[in-house]
Structure 1
Amino acid sequence: MSDRPAQGLRERKKAKTRALIQREALRLFREQGYAATTVEQIAEAAEVAPSTVFRYFPTKEDLVLVDQFPPFVEALRAAPRELNPVQAVRVTMRQVLDAQTPEERADSVEREKLMLTVPELWAASLDNIRGVMATVRDELAAREGRDPGDPEIRNVTGAIMGVMWALWFDWAKDPSMEVVEAFDQALAHLDAGLPISRGDQSPG
């Protein structure tokens, strides 16, 4: 008899436990502050042992920094090959954001706020951003059959990530933002070459 169903059940249980731990951690960070919250308090709130928290999140910083990046990578790899890098990321972002629940989006905003406002997380946040950029660069290079060190791949990755992070900062300040449409429009603007609309204004 195959043990695949049992393996699938175990993985779903692990995912639920991981999500619960992170959700309780974010709630406690919001209510009593990042520095004042202990791993023991998080474990108690999630009704797990402290060792279980560390099994899913090796450091306290990981409770904020570790997110749902793997689904993004999987969706990017599955994006139609005829799309250029910006278009591929645009399709991927819409797919990933559309799949999120309201709770998952709220957690994303909470993580962004913490990364931007907690000094203890700044260095870890920079490493996290660097890692995300490197992964996106490598994936885009593979799609285009180019070397990850290619200057053109570096430039397009930087442009994409710059547009996305600028919007993410605004989203952290205004969680009511229609984020799916905002990301879609921002990446469409980048794909169009970032034109600046001047309306009917004339010089002089």
Structure 2
Amino acid sequence: MSSPGLRERKKQKTRWAIQEHAVRLFAQQGYDATTVEQIAEAAEISPSTFFRYFKTKEDAVVQDRYDDLMADAIRNAPPELSPLDTVRRAFLDAFAQIDPDEAEQVLQRARLALSVPALRMRSLDNMQSSIKFLAAPLAERLGREPDDFRSVAFMGACVGAIINAVMTWVENDGADDPRQLIEEALSVIAEGP
């Protein structure tokens, strides 16, 4: 897959800079007390520019770049890998690309998503979209239609296991290695409890 052009990279950089300011303000002031105007001011953009990147304040927490990374990893995985090994590799590859500063932001976003009711609901919606988005390249690998029920159900099981790993990571304040937690959570799908 070709890398994005300069214009797209600048847009992505702006998007994640806005998110970084939003998460920082949410952590400092609380989610409900923070306005889009405050986020825009901190990011040195206009509120209308904020809404070009994020449709809602909730999206500034729940959206990330990892679905795209994982979908690419699923598409590009060696053909001999099983569906579970393909998904395992995709999730682990995505987490391997997170540096320590970004890991702290992911941890803060996960804390917010678990503690703010509006964000929990938006996260649930986002999770459903992610499952379908990630199931499509898996279904393609299997020679099936993008909305194949079994591929979506399988990806839902994998994402559910990963959510358990992320929740454990958040509950332990980031002390655990998230990749090890992901490995263990996905092993349950293969082996049972």
TM-score by length of 2: 0.88
- Compare CA radii of gyration and give the structure with the larger one: 1
Matched letter for residue 182 of structure 1: L
In structure 1, C-alpha distance between the alignment counterparts of 2:149 and 2:19, rounded to whole Å: 37
Which is worse superposed, 147-156 or 60-69? 147-156
Instruction: Please state if 1:179 is matched with 2:171.
Output: no
- Which residue in the other structure is 1:47 paired with? 44
Alignment of 1:9-88 (within 5 A): 9-68=6-65, 69-88=67-86
Letter in 2 for 1:129: M
Q: After the TM superposition, which residues 147-186 of structure 1 pair with which residues of structure 2 at under 5 Å, given as runs?
A: 147=145, 150=148, 152-174=150-172, 175-186=174-185
Pairwise CA RMSD: 1.9
Cα separation, 2, equivalents of 1:157 and 1:8: 30
CA deviation digits over 1:117-169, x for unaligned, max 9? 11122322221111111122222222111345655434422321221111111
- Structure 2 CA distance for aligned equivalents of residues 106 and 48 of structure 1: 24
**Any gaps of 5 or more consecutive residues in structure 1?**
1-6, 197-204
Cα shift at 1:75: 1.3
User: How many residues were matched structurally?
Assistant: 188
User: What letter corresponds to residue 138 of structure 1 in structure 2?
Assistant: A
Percent identity between the two aligned chains: 41
Given the superposition, is the C-alpha separation of residues 126 and 104 from structure 1 closer, same or farther in structure 2, using an over 3 Å criterion?
same
C-alpha deviation, 1:81, in angstroms:
1.5
Q: Could you tell me how far 1:42 is from its partner in structure 2? A: 0.6
Aligned residue for 1:104, secondary structure, equals helix
CA distance in 2, matches of 1:38, 1:58: 14
Q: SS at 2:5's partner residue?
A: helix
Q: Which amino acid aligns with 1:26?
A: V
Query: Normalising to structure 1: TM-score of the pair?
Result: 0.84
Name the CA shift for 1:189/1:123 in 2 (closer, same or farther; >3 Å): closer
Cα distance in structure 1, aligned partners of 2:48 and 2:42 = 14
- 8 Å Cα contact 1:77-1:139 kept in structure 2: yes
